[in-house]
């Protein structure tokens, strides 16, 4: 089964906590703090791996987590950094942030990689908090938070030439004749339900050709398997539009030609700007000099496309179609690629969370609640047996303006304030 889309949850590693420790060696007077720093949490990294062809593995495993950083240790020893988690995907995979819908990275070439979720920073040990006033700090910094998000993996085939056309017009047969690929071929609608790839070798050239599974009317709206099929055309450079000119399916070849191009345009207008070669297939079933074929040929050429009469099973005209595709690819290689603007995920903004320092206030049936990312980190760093550490937490809450906002909500002396799982009574001298 060809899996080309998956949704997974990723989580980086949490930073290790700084250590609270004091020198205890004999004969060392006034031994001071010696708590080491915590290690950095592991990053979650996506990497394109040429040995992979589909996203099938992500259908069975949905959650991925990097290793947490180790806590700091005594004698100023650092905690070990968490191991990065490298998630390998096939080349051509687009990684999308589900929440914003923005592209994080398009991993086109083998070996390309990027950090999708940074690990938390390691917390500082108590050795960093010693000063002339505080000689024996009995607290340390908690490790930084892990980053977690849901991402969508979407694979788009990387092919030079794409075969497009209605189901059962002969695309799979052309691919099998032109390459060593062996797609399933039969006289049924939707014979191909997965894209197939093959390498075409013609004269001194070679290129990758993809059989894009049959498109139907309404595919640009998702009809049939429209979205799954159409997205694979986006990366192709040249299109070979295969049309059944014999009308063996009871359809008019000109209508087929127009309908497919209409679907391409409505999905993405840029698709019609790609070079398109029209392969009039099943020519052996009609008279090439007859009025039916001439009518089709004149109509297509009038619209600016070159037509090649072809019968894929009989190898008639196949070489001419492939040679023209090779010529078009050579011409494109000499032209500068048109740049297109795509709004991408802002990693710099993601690292600078504007809400990080905000202390949120709320009320529930048990009392008043304070929450916030920096508040939680300071809370996790607090030693509740040390008055200096407790005072630091209280001062932070007070300076944030949270107490004033709670008073506006009705806070009075003796009311309970909760921070995470710690509760205390409020007094004016707080």
Amino acid 421: pLDDT: 81
- pLDDT of 222 strictly over 80: no
- pLDDT tens by residue, 325-343: 999 999 998 876 665 556 7
Amino acid 195: pLDDT: 67
Identify the residue with better confidence: 4 or 42: 42
- pLDDT of 190 strictly over 60: no
Confidence of residue 181 (pLDDT cuts 50, 70, 90): low
Tokens 């906002």 belong to 405
Confidence of residue 374 (pLDDT cuts 50, 70, 90): confident
For 272, the token pair is 């019609």
Amino acid 318: pLDDT: 95
CB atoms within 10 A of CB 50: 11
Confidence of residue 16 (pLDDT cuts 50, 70, 90): very high
- pLDDT of 125 strictly over 70: yes
Domains, the chain, with CATH or none: 1-155 (2.70.210.12), 161-333 (3.40.50.300), 355-425 (3.30.300)
Amino acid 240: pLDDT: 96
Amino acid 365: pLDDT: 84
Tell me the C-alpha distance between 257 and 272, whole Å: 13
User: Could you tell me the pTM of the whole model?
Assistant: 0.74
- pLDDT tens by residue, 33-88: 889 999 999 999 999 998 888 888 898 899 999 999 999 998 889 999 999 999 99
Mean pLDDT, the chain, as a whole number? Answer: 85
- pLDDT of 191 strictly over 70: no
Amino acid 224: pLDDT: 39
- pLDDT of 415 strictly over 90: no
- pLDDT of 242 strictly over 90: yes
Confidence of residue 308 (pLDDT cuts 50, 70, 90): very high
């Amino acid at each position: 089964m060809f899996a080309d889309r998956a949704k997974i949850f990723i989580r980086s590693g949490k930073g290790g906590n700084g250590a609270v420790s004091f020198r205890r060696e004999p004969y060392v007077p006034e031994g001071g703090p010696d708590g080491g720093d915590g290690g950095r949490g592991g990053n979650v990294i996506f990497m394109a791996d040429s040995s992979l062809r589909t996203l099938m593995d992500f259908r069975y495993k949905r959650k991925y987590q990097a290793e947490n950083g180790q806590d700091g240790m005594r004698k100023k020893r650092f905690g070990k950094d968490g191991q990065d988690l490298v998630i390998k995907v096939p080349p051509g995979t687009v990684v999308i942030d589900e929440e914003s819908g923005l592209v994080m990275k398009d991993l086109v070439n083998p070996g390309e990689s990027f950090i999708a979720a940074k690990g938390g920073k390691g917390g500082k040990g108590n050795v960093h908090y010693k000063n002339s006033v505080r000689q024996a700090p009995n607290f340390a910094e908690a490790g930084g938070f892990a980053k977690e998000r849901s991402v969508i993996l979407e694979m788009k085939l990387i092919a030079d030439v794409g075969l497009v056309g209605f189901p059962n017009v002969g695309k799979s047969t052309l691919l099998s004749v032109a390459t060593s690929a062996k797609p399933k071929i039969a006289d049924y609608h939707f014979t191909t339900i997965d894209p197939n790839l093959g390498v075409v070798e013609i004269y001194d050239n070679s290129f990758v050709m993809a059989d894009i599974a049959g498109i139907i009317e309404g595919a640009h709206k998702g009809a049939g398997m429209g979205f799954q099929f159409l997205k694979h055309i986006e990366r192709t450079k040249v299109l070979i539009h295969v049309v059944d000119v014999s009308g063996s399916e009871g359809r008019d070849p000109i209508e087929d030609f127009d309908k497919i191009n209409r679907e391409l345009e409505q999905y993405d207008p840029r698709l019609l700007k790609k070079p398109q070669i029209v392969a009039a297939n099943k020519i052996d079933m009609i008279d090439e000099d007859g009025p039916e074929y001439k009518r089709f040929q004149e109509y297509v050429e009038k619209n600016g496309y070159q037509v090649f009469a072809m019968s894929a099973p009989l190898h008639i005209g196949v070489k001419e179609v492939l040679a023209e595709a090779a010529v078009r690819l050579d011409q494109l290689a000499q032209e500068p690629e048109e740049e297109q603007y795509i709004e991408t995920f802002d990693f710099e903004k993601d690292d600078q969370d504007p809400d990080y320092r905000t202390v949120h206030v709320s009320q529930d049936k048990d009392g008043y609640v304070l929450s916030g990312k920096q508040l939680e980190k300071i809370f996790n760093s607090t030693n509740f047996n040390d008055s200096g550490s407790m005072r630091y937490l209280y001062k932070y809450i007070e300076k944030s303006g949270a107490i004033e906002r709670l008073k506006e909500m009705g806070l009075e002396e003796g009311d309970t304030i909760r921070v995470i799982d710690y509760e205390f009574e409020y007094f004016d001298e707080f």
